[in-house]
Structure 1
């Protein structure tokens, strides 16, 4: 007869889902796209779905802390542990240190998962490592791991961010005027903690297609920050009819405020029928909001994307907008070329530039492990080229909004400074008065200006950056 410890005992479905998603993320998938598909395929809903979500996101997000713990407990480097077993161990570590799961349950359930997905031999290793991990508290492990490290390296382990990102965020807080030399360490810790907190689900009611009241009527609460936003406290946003019909959508409130700011900026010309351009429109969230705002102002939006595949994503996002008869011109083209092809054409141009995504680490748990400091110079070159092209497409007197979902100085103010330093036909405008909350008040803590920097720890949004430029006549 097999020993009790060797008897196969099936793991629960929520933990299996978490493991399968972690494996797919390790192979290149995105957790926010993969998890809903697997939950739906397995028929997991309600509390079990919430458990699987927290377990998946937490294990991926916190691996910068858990892997060094596992290395000490296993007596070997993480890269010498088979990747599927390492994922199981991360899931066990998150139950021990990041969730309210009793230690005995975390260990026994994870060993059961290991038997299911890694095999009986691996279950012994998982059992031994988790028992060693459970002998100390999270703080005791963290103190051992950070002993003797410099402050940046210690924060990187404690808050599970690569050290280069910690340095970049510290510099961004200072550059934006959000932090002072005296406050920056506390502000940085608050930001890192916010990056590791599960974000709420933000919804946008696309004007003319859906109202915030409609979203409130199905269980959401009105956003305090965005006049067109709502917050869903729990549940599947896909279960909301307006979301399924693309009259509403999941969209960070920071992104909503960026679109509202560009649409709300003053423009000379009175009764002119404006033409707007979204230069990098994919996957289409800001374009859909801009299109409905443009329609209210008797303007038309042109949405551009670089590839046919991404252009189709934009069309899909715009389905309800197009069905409502709102005119949107959607096309494919390299945004870097449009300035030469369509000079002095558009009244308002949005450049939502490709970036490192360091502002959305709450929502994309794997992003911090996929990006490297070496990605920044290449992206900054692309960002400068796109902004230059956007300025060229704008008519004299027209507005250009430059946005990134990253606060990294090399992707934000440095890009704007370098582009404007080479030309005399563009001025910066103060964007801060355009960021208005639901009550009509200017949003606070936007930085020293004239640009805007939003923050997860201050605004509950992604760390969106926005600069408003005007082309001179």
Structure 2
């Protein structure tokens, strides 16, 4: 097998695991690349093929259905994944058409029944005869509504398109919808964090515009830098950095404060909190109900010389009553704000998931508020701009706690962290919630709210 074929096989097997077994590409792909012994260039090809195919899967399914003249639900799943990978190479890469067709046909042959290779060959050769622009025109013309057109063209489920439209409209920025959908399909730049008070960015690194601890490398291997630093330099989205720093820097820290990271896994924000606690004389505890993710938290904070107990309790009861000065609630959510980095997430969630998640989010946030001492602050964070998960949950806890709560200006706090103006919009509900966006801030679509117990 050629090296190029190795790259395609790694991409195909990763895509199969994602679609068949709900695997996570970001966890599975590095191991598959290492096992295949791919060099840097071919690892890059495998990565681009994997993530590119997953991001554009909805669009490619529409094209395959047109080229095959049958719904994709009627195509064997393994053969369909081979077709998706082939269409991606034909329409979105510089891979030679004959290589894209022939090797995708071989992949279909390896997983399909008799006749799968011939079927795949016919579909891919049909796709190869027309330009990407011609296929996109056909896909757009097949839509029954504007939201469906956007979903097909930009490869997002229609319900996600509508959720994004509502969230942007709440800020008076509905015209930015296509820009947001486009940003979701772009490969994000690698952003890193230097744990405050412990590590410093390399001299040749470029500072990020918003987070005072963020930077981007001009070149080199970020994972090598992480290993050599013992985890004090780490890969982390700038929005996640800002979410942790918003809690620690909202108001001045008094020595001896007690903090809790309530939903800590996988531990990136916990590490920043630990570094901030170490520098300011605060105490930090972490909680993560999933034992596997609790293990990730312990590894994430290993580079910080601070004793951080990590419990594995239900976050809805863990804070107790009036125990803490600051609590971070990085709540489980739909993850719609991180579709650039986790493209498969858009195909795994549905509108039916939202009510259960918002109930859990509200219970976690309510538990955190009860766990605050008078004057204590909770940061409510979701990696989702969905209004039900942001303003909806906040409105519910306001009704429950009434005048016992005071909302702080998270936009002002986040803006004050940087020399740059994050252009954080004024929310239509008059709140101080900070909403970051991929297309505007080049971060995940992180929502950050700060509430203080009077």
Q: TM-score, normalised by structure 2?
A: 0.93
Deviations 1:370-392 (A, max 9, x none): 00000000000000000100101
Partner of 2:182: 193
Contact residue 254 and residue 282 of structure 2 kept, 8 A: no
Contact residue 201 and residue 233 of structure 1 kept, 8 A: no
1:246 aligns with 2:231: yes
Deviations 1:255-312 (A, max 9, x none): 0011111111114xx7542111111111111011111011111111111111333322
Partner of 1:16: 9
1:403 to 381, 384, 389: 381
- Residues 145-224 of structure 1 aligned to structure 2 (within 5 Å): 145-147=139-141, 149-175=144-170, 177=171, 179=173, 184=174, 186-213=175-202, 216-217=203-204, 220-224=205-209
Partner of 1:457: 439
What is the CA-CA distance between 1:116 and the residue it aligns to? Answer: 5.2
Distance 1:82 1:10 in 2: 27
Distance 1:21 1:428 in 2: 44
1:64 to 58, 61, 68: 58
SS at match of 2:329: strand
SS at match of 1:35: helix
Summarize the Cα distance change of 1:89–1:439 in structure 2 as closer, same or farther, 3 Å threshold. same
Distance 1:9 1:343 in 2: 62
Deviations 1:297-331 (A, max 9, x none): 1111111111333322211111111xx2x132221
Greater displacement, 75-84 / 143-152: 143-152
2:307 to 327, 348, 364: 327
What is the CA-CA distance between 1:438 and the residue it aligns to? Answer: 7.3
SS at match of 2:199: coil
Contact residue 210 and residue 417 of structure 2 kept, 8 A: yes
Unaligned runs of 5+ in 2: none
Distance 2:438 2:421 in 1: 17
Greater displacement, 428-437 / 129-138: 428-437
What is the CA-CA distance between 1:81 and the residue it aligns to? Answer: 1.3
What is the CA-CA distance between 1:441 and the residue it aligns to? Answer: 3.8
Unaligned runs of 5+ in 1: 1-7
Distance 1:469 1:164 in 2: 30
SS at match of 2:191: strand
Greater displacement, 295-304 / 161-170: 295-304
- Residues 85-96 of structure 1 aligned to structure 2 (within 5 Å): 85-96=79-90
Distance 1:193 1:17 in 2: 26
Deviations 1:107-150 (A, max 9, x none): 23323444555588432222211110112222222222232521
